[in-house]
Amino acid sequence: MAASHHSDEKIPAIKLTAMQYLVALVLVILLSGLWRLQVLGARNYRALAQANRVRKVPILGARGKIFDRDGRLIVDNYPSVTCFLVPEQARDLDADLPLIARGLHLDVEQLQSTLFHFRHQPKYQPIPLKEDITPDELAFIAAHGNELPELETIDEQRRLYPSNGFAAHLIGYVGEVSEEMLDDPRYAFYQPGDVVGRSGIEEAYDPILRGQDGSRDVIVDSHGRELGVLGTEPTVPGTPLKLTIDLDVQEAAEKALGPRSGAIVAIDPRTGEVLAMVSHPTFDPNDFAIRIHRDEWNKLITDPEHPLLNKAIQAQLAPGSTFKIIEAIAGLQEGIAQALTVDCHGGAIFYGRYFKCWISARHQGHGITDISKGIYQSCDVYFYTLAEKLGIEKIAEWAHKFGLGEKTGIDLPNEAAGIMPSEEWKMRNYHQKWFAGETISVGIGQGATAVTPIQLVRAIAGIASGGVLKRPHVVFPDEIPPAYREYFQEQFPGSGDKIVPIDPANWEIVTDAMAQVTTYAGTAGMAHLDGIDFAGKTGTAQTVSNEYKKNIGGGGVKLRDNAWFVGVSPRRNPEIAVVILWENGAEGYLSARLAAQVIEAYVDKQRRMANNLHLPTEKHAASVAAPKSTHAATTPTATQQPIEMAGLWNAAAGSPSLYPGAHEIPYGPGTVLRGARFPLPTTAPATHSTSMLQSKFRRKAAASGSGMR
Amino acid sequence: MRRLISFRDFDWVLLGFVLLLSVVSVLEIYSATLHTKFIHFDQKQVMWLLGGLVCMFALSLVNYHLLLDIAHWAYGFCIVALLAVLLVGQRVLGARRWIRLGSIHFQPSEWVKLVLIVAVARYFSHLAGRNLSWGDIFKAMAMVGLPMLLVLKQPDLGTALTYAPILLCGLFLGGISFKKAAILVLAGGLAIVPAWYKVLKPYQKQRLTSFLQPDTDPRGSGYQIRQSLIAVGSGGIWGKGATKGTQTQGDFLPIPYTDFIFAAFGEEHGFVGAALVLLLYFLILMRLIQNAQTAADLPGTLIVMGVVAVLIFQIAVNVGMVIGLMPVTGIPLPLMSYGGSSVLFTFLALGIVMNIRMSRFVN
């Protein structure tokens, strides 16, 4: 059987040789292919291999901290970790969900809905699961790196704002950069997902505050898992910003306004520095630092009290009688008011219509009234008459000189311009002629006149300063890097610094009359401060006409008059000017009492510093429990417990330990200085050692705990 | 008559080259699986190699004429096995390729190769000396074509294609005339058109074309070729060093321990290493062809050349795929790729070759 295979036939040798050449040829072709790739193309393919495996992981740069004028910390950063889920890296995502939910303290349903929400994005895109995770959640992720390769974390520095909405409108908040902002060349620096200042100082000074993101060059595998680190490009933290705000004055203003709706601005008229800026009701900017919940946002934007509106620079309301100061200067400078006296009987007829004086509700009238009494008694009849004599054009001209109807140029976003009506204004906006009767209303700050609190305080403080008006600002100009100064100048156009020449005699008449306002003879006698030269002007501005109120039967709280007060101290060349807007506060003198609290806090601090009494020091802070004896020795008036600032941060931090320095910030005893016999300080306030304060507030242990929420 | 077989005539040189390449293979499998869940596949490969060596020595003791005698039975058994795979086979990644007998997974298509080599050798040795008629040619084509179609049906394009060189080699050495060969080439060229539209599945077509433009869809079917080119190219002249290939270790290179092992090796050992491996292949194949020349009879020569044809075809297609000259077909690189079936085929084939060599003076 096997024999059948035996054959003497042989394959020609040439065919086997041909096969040998074929094999050699194939191998030479393959070799040349290798040569092409590995010798000729090596450089190109090495670059491709490098691009394959190296990924730039951004490290987010911290924003600059924000300090008050004395170097006390207002806005800090804290390290925060966000947990992401990368679906591509999961082995069995559905099976992992219960474990992830348990470790991150989330509901499985919540997790599923998050994943459902992001179901359309590519699988390699990280889905944010939980922001600001706690140390034990971070430990969970680290410990389950093998079982749950889909979980990733990103470290970042988050904003920590004072709690309870302290100075919230002034500071603003940060949020994710929006689509529209990305189209704006000003935000060319940013990429989607970046955090950017969205309001207040955070927005206005974003170019300075923002840090520069660094990056880590990470070696990854094809699934994006990290295999190692090649190198890092460090972050550049944002520049710290020192505000003109004085925390002591700010705190006093917050307390003064309290639960009332309205605004307080305190400025130093000599420089335009804003010492305090409050708008109530307020909001907690910490809610924005992490993505704000939809419900919370809806509540904020639908609230009729407009908590997101910075009323200090955005509310445009009738100034009421506070306008009389401007009108008085106009009348005096025009030479009309000096000789003008009226006999107030509680009202007068102008252009065929009877205009009431506010006094008519209580008394017969003001009787014989000159310019001085007109101011401190706020006699409407006097200013009706003066307005009639001046005419709307002169009133508008002088109001414009003092910056009404125009932005002040404060370095905060979205300042409102207000309205100063005139014949030309009415024609332009309503295509109607000016009615003479309207001038009478404008004379007492009603009618179409609308001012912002910052405008009003700057105008009246400017008059008290002899006609020197400064551009209000919240950041010291020399704190801004020179390269940015012009930029910021252009960002915030307004009337800026200006000088309105005022006759010294007229200046004295008006400022003396303003000082009378807070005496028994004036409209705000209840706000009198012994030992402090406190001058001002009340304003009670109608929100609706009296007829309307009568028609609807009273109207209740919401239709009550807005209570204004603008106060200065001292009366001439004041160091501080305060405006109070108390919406529906009913009576201007009630606002005057709030202004008095702010002025008092300021003066109190200046006196203590001038006398080297009780500077905020570490020594004081260390003994919170038993400070009384030392205080009694150094501060004769310190009869009350020091007011601690701890409450500012505690709610945001979750635990006081997060801010080792915060609860030690001493706040001067908020005592009433009635009867104190200290001269008004003339020297500049003593300055603190900034570095000492900064080091005090520097976090002792960076990872001592993340904020819990 | 009784043959005297002596291991003095065993091709120790060939075995030396083969073992050298096997060591290279094991080391590269170790490197390529180091950071994957396939870690320790190098140890399994060593077990396969040891098993393969035992089988090789065992088969080298079996007279190849015995194999020729049972070739038609073996062929019949192969057809049955392939049909069984199609009917009851295990479905892995969408293709039925495996039969499970107890705990042993069994991929018949690899063994069919060996049987076909012997069967084709037997067929053409019977026709020795004659000019091949069209009938002879079509019978040979049918003999190889039937298992090819069955394997294509699994579907396993790569393995099916490896049957073709057996037929081509048989026809060439069996004495096809130049004229008939030219006609066949023409007809084959024309047959590609209907085969392209009727037989091949879309993913197979995509794989066959994507190597021409791997960059058109870097995340899709061109991904494997692209990553393979980057791996080989970035290896440069000297390579990145064992276990240091970024493409291999970073899991960018697909299956770097089986089909793309040559890319992994090329990345880590560069042009020099890859050229040395090709040199080893050259030496092994030349040694095989030399054994074919010295074989005692025609079927011996045909069997050895059948083995040569399969090996050079697989090397050409696999390395060609790795360096972007060939489409992705899923053909393993003999003696380099991880896998028991592939190792066993190679060593069994070598066993037959050894027997043919040892029988050369016995007659």
* Interface predicted TM-score (ipTM): 0.94
Chain A: which residues have CB within 8 Å of chain B? 1-2, 4-7, 9-11, 13, 15-16, 19-20, 22-24, 26-27, 29-31, 33-39, 41-42, 44-46, 48-50, 52-53, 219-223, 227
- Each as own residue / partner, the long-range contacts of residues A291-300 (CB below 8 Å, 24 or more positions apart, any chain) are A291/A131, A291/A175, A291/A176, A292/A175
Residues A559, A549 contacting (CB under 8 angstroms): yes
The H or E element spanning position A265 is strand A262-268
∠ CA(B270), CA(A53), CA(B93), 5° rounding? 85
- Indicate the domain borders of chain B: 22-358
- Write out the E strands in A308-444: 342-344, 347-350, 353-356, 367-369
The H or E element spanning position A423 is helix A423-430
Q: Mind listing the domains of chain A with CATH numbers?
A: 56-242 (3.90.1310.10), 247-610 (3.40.710.10), 618-677+679-697 (no CATH)
d(CA A158, CA A708): 13
Helices B134-152 and B71-88: angle between axes, nearest 10 degrees: 30
Determine the distance in angstroms separating the CA of A136 from the nearest CA of chain B, rounded to an integer.
29
pLDDT digits (tens, 9 = 90+) for A211-264: 888 888 888 777 666 777 878 888 888 889 999 999 999 999 999 998 999 999
Mean pLDDT of the B346-352 span: 95
B301 at interface of A, judged by CB pairs closer than 8 A: yes
d(CA A288, CA A197): 10
B323 at interface of A, judged by CB pairs closer than 8 A: yes
pLDDT digits (tens, 9 = 90+) for A673-691: 222 222 333 333 333 322 2
pLDDT digits (tens, 9 = 90+) for A82-134: 888 888 777 788 888 888 888 888 888 888 888 888 777 777 677 888 888 88
* Whether the predicted pLDDT of A165 surpasses 90: no
d(CA A189, CA B202): 47
Determine the distance in angstroms separating the CA of A42 from the nearest CA of chain B, rounded to an integer.
5
**Count, residues in chain A:** 709
Q: Is the dihedral of CA A251, A157, A213, A176 positive or negative?
A: negative
Mean pLDDT of the B72-78 span: 93
Mean pLDDT of the A606-628 span: 52
Indicate the Cα dihedral angle B71, B72, B73, B79, nearest 10°. Answer: 110
Nearest-Å Rg of the Cα atoms of chain A is 35
* Whether the predicted pLDDT of B273 surpasses 90: yes
The maximal CA–CA distance of chain A, rounded, in angstroms, is 151
pLDDT digits (tens, 9 = 90+) for B300-343: 999 999 999 999 999 999 999 999 898 888 889 999 999 888 89
Nearest to A67 by CA among A171, A158, A164, A213: A171
The mean pLDDT value of chain A amounts to 78
Residues A588, A565 contacting (CB under 8 angstroms): yes
Cβ distance A220 to B250 less than 8 Å, yes or no, reads yes
Highest averaged pLDDT of the listed ranges A105-114, A340-349, A415-424, B272-281: B272-281
Nearest to B63 by CA among B118, B8, B111, B117: B118
pLDDT for the residue B282: 97
d(CA B183, CA B297): 30
Q: A441: helix, coil or strand?
A: helix
Instruction: Look up residue B262 and give its two tokens.
Output: 């040559």
d(CA A526, CA A430): 42
Among the listed ranges A37-46, A453-462, A555-564, which one has the minimum average pLDDT value?
A555-564
The H or E element spanning position B76 is helix B71-88
Q: Which residues of B touch A42 (CB under 8 A)?
A: 233-237
* Whether the predicted pLDDT of A285 surpasses 70: yes
* Whether the predicted pLDDT of A562 surpasses 90: no
Q: State how beta strands A241-242 and A66-67 pair.
A: parallel
Residues A601, A673 contacting (CB under 8 angstroms): no
Nearest to B265 by CA among B252, B256, B44: B256
pLDDT for the residue A657: 30
Q: CA-CA distances (angstroms) from residue B181 to A489, B141, B159, B201?
A: 89, 13, 24, 29
Please tell me which of the candidates A7, A19, A27 has its beta carbon nearest to residue B125.
Answer: A7
Residues A568, A458 contacting (CB under 8 angstroms): no
* Whether the predicted pLDDT of A42 surpasses 60: yes
- The confidence band for B215, taking pLDDT boundaries of 50, 70 and 90, is low
d(CA A204, CA B7): 92
Please tell me which of the candidates B229, B252, B282 has its beta carbon nearest to residue A24.
Answer: B282
Instruction: Look up residue A301 and give its two tokens.
Output: 């934007």
Q: A193: helix, coil or strand?
A: coil
Q: Which residues of B touch A4 (CB under 8 A)?
A: 126
pLDDT digits (tens, 9 = 90+) for A389-432: 999 999 999 999 999 999 999 999 989 999 899 888 889 988 88
- The confidence band for A299, taking pLDDT boundaries of 50, 70 and 90, is confident
d(CA A524, CA A518): 5
B170 at interface of A, judged by CB pairs closer than 8 A: no
Cβ distance A34 to B323 less than 8 Å, yes or no, reads yes
Helices B71-88 and B108-126: angle between axes, nearest 10 degrees: 150
- The confidence band for B105, taking pLDDT boundaries of 50, 70 and 90, is low
DSSP one-letter string for A498-547:
EE----HHHHHHHHHHHHHHTSTTSTTGGG--TTS--EEEEEEE-SS-HH
**Which ranges of A564-676 does DSSP label H, i.e. alpha helix?**
588-610, 618-622, 628-634, 646-653
Mean pLDDT of the A522-535 span: 87
Instruction: Look up residue A432 and give its two tokens.
Output: 């109607």
* Whether the predicted pLDDT of A622 surpasses 90: no
Residues A360, A324 contacting (CB under 8 angstroms): no
Cβ distance B250 to A15 less than 8 Å, yes or no, reads no
Nearest to B261 by CA among B220, B233, B219, B232: B232
Nearest to A480 by CA among A490, A491, A472, A488: A488
d(CA A188, CA A170): 25
Mean pLDDT of the B196-218 span: 69
* Whether the predicted pLDDT of B274 surpasses 90: yes
Q: Is the dihedral of CA A648, A651, A652, A656 positive or negative?
A: positive
Q: Which of A273-310 are b and which e, b meaning 16 or more Cβ less than 10 Å from the residue's Cβ?
A: bbbbbbbbbbbbbbbbbbebeeeeeeebeeeeebbbbb
| Minimum CA–CA partner of B126 in chain A | A5
A-proximal residues of B, 96-135, CB under 8 Å = 122, 125-126, 128-129
B1 at interface of A, judged by CB pairs closer than 8 A: no
Tally of CB atoms within 10 A around B331 = 24
d(CA B221, CA B233): 19
Alpha carbons within 13 angstroms on the beta-carbon side of residue B136 total 22
pLDDT for the residue A87: 81
More confident: B104 or B363: B104
The H or E element spanning position B341 is helix B340-358
- Write out the E strands in A321-389: 342-344, 347-350, 353-356, 367-369
Among the listed ranges A698-702, B106-110, B224-228, which one has the minimum average pLDDT value?
A698-702
Residues A280, A257 contacting (CB under 8 angstroms): yes
Cβ distance B128 to A7 less than 8 Å, yes or no, reads yes
Mean pLDDT of the A573-602 span: 89
Instruction: Look up residue B162 and give its two tokens.
Output: 């490896």
